[in-house]
Each structure stands twice: as structure tokens, then as C-alpha cells.
A = this chain, B = another copy of it.
Amino acid sequence: MSKVVALMSMSLDGYVADPDDGVDEVFDWYFSGDVEVVTPSRAFTFRVSPPSAEHLKGLMAAVGAMLTGRRTFDRANGWEGRHPFDVPAFVVTRRVPEGWPRPGSTVRFVTDGIESAVAQAKAAAAPKFVGVHGAQTIQQCLDAGLLDEIHVDLAAVLLGKGVPLFDHLANTPVALGNPTVVAGVGVTHLRYAVQR
């Protein structure tokens, strides 16, 4: 069965973006090293520390589909039709955006809710995992009991304010397992199992 795994960079105080939706601080670790990591789509090149490079390569090889919300899709300008991980991307939205779906694009739209989106993404990803990106979509998955793991790239910064990763959870507390830990430069990669 394909796992459903949250993937986010987060500040030590729990924010995934500053109040203006800026991610420079929490994404700083993507450009804090000497090892080049190119996304499967070849659209992005990161320069990270050796442990973060191993972490990123392992992650990108293990993701079979992505699941995001409409906000992430819009902010990324629809990834120009092709998610950087070069896997099908499922976008949960009320309405399919104008001009989409585009011919040749691997971006799909799901208008009948999070459970349907997760089911479709799992089918596309199997046997690899579904990566879930975006605070609201991650929280929807958690609330619906659909999230198996949380991968947090914990950035070495306090933002003080901004967009929290976890701020409207319906069922708390959520117990997590012991994380696997990878120490990078400016970041600590933590991977928790969600205990249900």
C-alpha cells in the first residue's frame, strides 16, 4: 500500500512561510552547501550539504505522486504543467483552474475532496509514496486519518510569525513515532510516523 507522507520545510517555531508567504528563510538550507542536486524535472538545482543531498535524492526517488492544495499550485504557477519531482501532481480544488488541464501536463485536478484525492494519488504512486505539500492539505489529510508520515525539514530559524504548518488540527494531540534524524547544514531532517 502506498504511504501518504507530508513534506515541508518548517522553522523551529512552526512556520512554513513568513507573513507575506515568503519562504526564503525556511528554504535557505536548499542553497547552503556544495553538492548539486537537480530535480527530476531538471527545472531546479539545489546546492546542499552532503547529508541533505543524500536525504533529497532518497526522497525524490521514493515519491510516486504529489498531492497539494490550490494555493501551492497557484504560487508555483502550476509548475508549468510538470511538478519538479516529475511525478503526477494531484491538486485539490473546488474548481479546475481556467486553461487547465493542459495537453501533455501531468497535473491533475480533484474537485470531490481530500479522500478522493488521496485515493487517486495513491493509485498513481504505488508502490512509491504520495508526497503531500502545503499546510492546509497536510492538515486535511491528518484530520481525515489519511496521513502516514510527516517529513519535516526543520530550518534553523525562528520566524516569530507567518503561516503555521499545524494550526487548525481537528483531533489533537496527535502522537508521533520516534523520528529518523538527518543532521544537515541549517536544517535537521526529521521523519515521523503518525500513530493512529
Contacts and interface: CB of A to CB of B under 8 A. Distances in A.
Interface of A: 11-14, 18, 25, 142, 150, 152, 154, 156-161, 164-169, 172-179, 181, 183-186, 188, 190, 192
A173 B25 contact: yes
Contact of A190 (B150, B175, B188): B188
Contacts of A178: 156, 183-186
A184 B14 CA distance: 21
13 contacts: A12-B150, A12-B166, A18-B173, A142-B158, A156-B192, A158-B172, A159-B173, A160-B166, A160-B167, A160-B169, A160-B173, A178-B186, A181-B188
* This chain: copies in complex: 2
Contacts of A177: 156
A14 to B, nearest CB: 4
Contacts of A175: 156-157
A179 B183 contact: yes
Nearest to A177: B156
Given A173-B25, A178-B186, A13 B166 contact: yes
Given A178-B183, A183-B179, A173 B158 contact: yes
Nearest to A194: B158
A135 B141 CA distance: 30
